Structure 1
């Protein structure tokens, strides 16, 4: 489909987008979840995610004064 659209001699961006939108068919199917996730599991997952992201940043920010007192590495 896409190759035939690109071979047109007078193809512009707007006509390409119109053709793609007209020929688009959704291929994503979904079903309801088999098991519902409770609030405890959600809270735990959010906490682990936050600690994973914010832990290293907090460590670095906490130790900035130590980093400033060090002498620069000698090369």
Structure 2
């Protein structure tokens, strides 16, 4: 690398350093109504089913996928 490389890189990245990106003003508060046990159970069950049912389908039909048509 030559001695001019840092100067060249500084010249290329200079304009990008001058741009100021505004930060988002995010403030969180506690929920108005806390989640109940049933709400959490339904949410977790539906998430697990959406992931595990398709995976189980593929695993149970793996032999037919290996055969091909």
Q: Shorter-chain-normalised TM-score: which range?
A: 0.5 to 0.7
4+ residue runs over 4 A deviation: none
Q: Please, which runs of 5 or more residues in structure 2 have no aligned partner?
A: 1-9
Q: Please, which runs of 5 or more residues in structure 1 have no aligned partner?
A: 1-7
Size of the aligned set, in residue pairs, is 58
TM-score, normalised to structure 2, is 0.59
* Higher mean displacement: 41-50 or 24-33: 24-33
TM-score, normalised to structure 1, is 0.55
Match of 1:51 in 2: 49
